[in-house]
């Protein structure tokens, strides 16, 4: 039965009153006297900078944390949510920013885990589970191969699995924690449409985000949180200009734009020659084919394209994460294809990877250990094998301050405990601050709030001004157009066109991304 036909004592699905949450004996205040009321059947955005306390507040609602003080009401009734099982029983489901899936199990096994349908109380009824899931998938257009293993499906499909998990448990109140942070633009469109369909069916959605365009597209109300405190509730339909973004950061925003100055020299810093790389997911076919690219000192070259068209293979071959089939990668006129990753670092290459967890961090090490991890064997961090803890701490704290890494406890916090956005800041800060001449950067602002994006973009342009070469891979066309001197477009593993950044138009880039040819585009 749809939620909207049920009888309730309150117009609000969720009311959180004077919620305070502190950690470490009160030394860290994540939330301070936060009030939030979510009307039944609406999409309610919860927005704020990285580390503002959004995820903590929703983790309290889902029973992962207990509030230090304050009360929670669900459908007008005061409740104590001691754990996620209790939250599920109250009709609350949560899609976490970092998915909670078992890679080696199938899709249907992950969805049913803990809520299995059985016959005679102990025999797993696989057919009934799959029938129910098929009905849900058809209803909300959330199709995914139920027999596929999680490790074999895309990030976008994994997110669908997480949504199906909570719908399978018959949740009426759905919490999405930064749901678009790891998705391509096409996947984002699909997810936002799913959210609107869920709303039409009477579901209540709390949408944690800092992407203003997405909030304007789907949200009815936005609650802004800054440094753990509620700032304002905004009726999204009444929003004008940068009202939400400026409430988030507490100041006016500055537009960042590439001045498109010429490279320092025409001598290439990085030269990719006829590079062919096998597809990581299917070694029988080429993911990148006879690809050529030049990056010069003092220029930003962006690679645009729909995800899965060779960007991963290009970046991993350049940075040493995978082997190429043929071709060459010249960095400072040295072919580094047969060298290891350490050689590339020693030559002056920095790499901000797309997957910060898999390639960018040691999650169970401290923040300061992560910041110096690549240079721990060098002066001033060590000498003759003896670690200089004071030098490590001093350097780490300077990076933490410059990149506004919140929750780091001066570098002593474990990296796994930071929010996704602050983890990203650690990786970006480390790679930008260490000595380098070339920055290979993939999705640099993924998961970051608008204030952090503004800062990172300005830092990338500062790298250009200092004469460094930047190879930027991004699925955000606005980011590509704001930063790039030249834009090369990949389609099906091949270079299909090149556009000067100063002349770039979305329709040109979009047409090339789709494999179309357009007059006026440099080939």
What does the pLDDT look like over 125-181, one tens digit per residue?
899 999 999 999 998 888 899 999 998 887 778 888 999 999 999 999 999 988 887
Per-residue pLDDT at 283 exceeds 80: yes
Q: Where does a domain end: 186, 220, 253? A: 253
pLDDT at 519: 53
Claim to verify: residue 258 and residue 248 sit in the same structural domain: no
Angle between helices 185-200 and 126-140 (to 10 degrees): 100
Count of CB atoms within 10 A of residue 276's CB? Answer: 17
pLDDT at 6: 59
Per-residue pLDDT at 55 exceeds 70: yes
pLDDT at 136: 92
419 belongs to a structural domain: yes
106 belongs to a structural domain: yes
Contact 324, 314 (CB under 8 A): no
Claim to verify: residue 111 and residue 163 sit in the same structural domain: yes
Claim to verify: residue 271 and residue 340 sit in the same structural domain: yes
What does the pLDDT look like over 289-308, one tens digit per residue?
999 999 999 999 999 988 78
115 belongs to a structural domain: yes
pLDDT at 4: 45
Least-confidence region, from 50-54, 275-279, 410-414? 50-54
Of 520 and 369, which is predicted with more confidence?
369
pLDDT at 186: 73
**pTM of the predicted protein model:** 0.73
Cα–Cα distance for residue pair 169/89, rounded to 1 Å: 9
Claim to verify: residue 183 and residue 233 sit in the same structural domain: yes
Claim to verify: residue 193 and residue 323 sit in the same structural domain: no
Claim to verify: residue 446 and residue 390 sit in the same structural domain: no
Token pair, residue 233, equals 């509730």
Which residues, at least 6 apart from 240, have a Cβ–Cβ distance to it below 8 Å?
A: none
Q: Where does a domain end: 197, 230, 253? A: 253
Of 206, 209, 108, 114, give the one whose Cα is nearest residue 160.
108
- Confidence at 511, pLDDT banded by 50, 70, 90: confident
Give the C-alpha distances (Å, rounded to integers) separating 135 from 131, 144, 167: 6, 12, 11
Token pair, residue 135, equals 């009905």
Q: Where does a domain end: 382, 414, 435? A: 435
Claim to verify: residue 404 and residue 342 sit in the same structural domain: no
483 belongs to a structural domain: yes
- Confidence at 523, pLDDT banded by 50, 70, 90: very low
Claim to verify: residue 84 and residue 178 sit in the same structural domain: yes
Cα–Cα distance for residue pair 435/378, rounded to 1 Å: 12
Token pair, residue 254, equals 């500055």
Domain CATH code at residue 184: 3.40.50.300
Claim to verify: residue 82 and residue 180 sit in the same structural domain: yes
Cα–Cα distance for residue pair 124/139, rounded to 1 Å: 24
Say if residue 380 is preceded by a cis peptide, omega within 30 of 0. yes
Token pair, residue 67, equals 């509030």
Contact 450, 245 (CB under 8 A): yes
Give the C-alpha distances (Å, rounded to integers) separating 339 from 4, 32, 253, 310, 352: 62, 52, 43, 22, 19
Total structural domains within the chain: 4
Claim to verify: residue 220 and residue 247 sit in the same structural domain: yes
5 belongs to a structural domain: no
How high is the mean pLDDT of the chain? 90
Residue 493, Ramachandran bin (φ over 0: left; ψ between -120 and 50: alpha; else beta): left
Which residues, at least 6 apart from 378, have a Cβ–Cβ distance to it below 8 Å?
A: none
2 belongs to a structural domain: no
Cα–Cα distance for residue pair 405/424, rounded to 1 Å: 9
Per-residue pLDDT at 1 exceeds 60: no
Claim to verify: residue 332 and residue 396 sit in the same structural domain: no
278 belongs to a structural domain: yes
Least-confidence region, from 181-190, 264-273, 422-431, 514-523? 514-523
| Span 38-42, average pLDDT | 96
1 belongs to a structural domain: no
- Confidence at 498, pLDDT banded by 50, 70, 90: very high
First to last CA, the chain: 56
What does the pLDDT look like over 353-385, one tens digit per residue?
988 988 999 999 999 999 999 999 999 999 999
pLDDT at 221: 97
**Proportion of the chain above pLDDT 90, given as a percent:** 67
Collapse the DSSP code of 518 into the 3-class scheme (helix H, G, I; strand E, B; otherwise coil) and give the result: coil
Claim to verify: residue 424 and residue 369 sit in the same structural domain: yes
Of 484, 457, 440, 446, give the one whose Cα is nearest residue 184.
446
| Span 69-96, average pLDDT | 94
Range of the domain at 106: 102-170
pLDDT at 3: 42
């Amino acid at each position: 039965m749809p939620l909207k036909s049920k009888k309730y004592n309150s117009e609000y699905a969720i009311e959180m009153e004077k919620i305070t949450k502190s950690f470490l004996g009160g030394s860290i205040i994540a939330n301070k006297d936060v009030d939030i009321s979510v009307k039944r059947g609406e999409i309610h955005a919860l927005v704020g900078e990285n580390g503002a306390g959004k995820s903590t507040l929703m983790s309290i609602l889902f029973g992962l944390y207990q509030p230090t003080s304050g009360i929670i009401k669900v459908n007008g009734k005061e409740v104590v949510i001691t754990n996620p099982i209790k939250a599920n029983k109250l009709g609350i489901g949560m899609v976490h920013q970092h998915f909670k899936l078992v890679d080696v199990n199938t899709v249907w096994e992950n969805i049913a885990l803990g809520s299995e349908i059985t016959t005679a109380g102990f025999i797993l009824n696989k057919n009934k589970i799959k029938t129910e899931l098929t009905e849900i998938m058809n209803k909300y257009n959330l199709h995914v191969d139920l027999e596929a293993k999680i490790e074999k499906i895309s990030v976008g499909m994994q997110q669908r699995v997480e949504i199906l998990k909570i719908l399978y448990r018959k949740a009426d109140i759905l919490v999405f924690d930064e749901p678009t942070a790891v998705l391509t633009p096409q996947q984002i469109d699909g997810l936002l449409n799913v959210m609107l369909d869920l709303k039409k069916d009477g579901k209540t959605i709390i949408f944690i985000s800092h992407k203003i365009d997405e909030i304007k597209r789907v949200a009815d109300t936005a609650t802004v949180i800054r440094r753990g405190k509620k700032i304002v509730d905004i009726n999204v339909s009444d929003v004008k200009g940068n009202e939400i973004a400026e409430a988030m950061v507490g100041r006016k925003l500055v537009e960042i734009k590439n001045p498109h100055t010429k490279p320092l020299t025409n001598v290439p810093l990085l030269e990719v020659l006829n590079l062919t790389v096998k597809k990581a997911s299917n070694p029988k076919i080429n993911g990148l084919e006879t690809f050529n690219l030049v990056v010069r000192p003092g220029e930003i070259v962006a690679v645009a394209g729909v995800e899965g068209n060779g960007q991963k293979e290009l970046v991993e071959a350049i940075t040493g994460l995978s082997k190429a089939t043929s071709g060459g990668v010249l960095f400072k006129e040295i072919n580094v294809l047969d060298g290891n990753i350490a050689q590339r670092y020693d030559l002056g290459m920095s790499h901000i990877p797309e997957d910060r967890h898999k390639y960018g961090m040691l999650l169970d090490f401290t923040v300061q250990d992560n910041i110096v991890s690549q240079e721990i064997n060098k002066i001033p961090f060590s000498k003759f094998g003896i670690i200089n803890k004071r030098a490590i701490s001093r350097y780490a704290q300077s990076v933490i301050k410059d990149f506004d890494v919140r929750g780091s406890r001066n570098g002593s916090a474990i990296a796994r405990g930071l929010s996704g956005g602050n983890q990203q800041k650690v990786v970006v800060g480390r790679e930008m601050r260490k000595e380098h001449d070339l920055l290979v950067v993939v999705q640099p602002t993924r998961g970051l709030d608008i204030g952090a994006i503004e800062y990172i973009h300005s830092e990338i342009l500062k790298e250009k001004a200092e004469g460094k070469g930047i190879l930027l891979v991004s699925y955000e066309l606005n980011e590509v157009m704001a930063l790039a001197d030249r834009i090369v477009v990949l389609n099906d593993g091949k270079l299909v066109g090149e556009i000067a950044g100063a002349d770039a138009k979305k329709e040109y880039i979009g047409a090339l991304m789709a494999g179309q040819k357009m007059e006026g585009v440099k080939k």
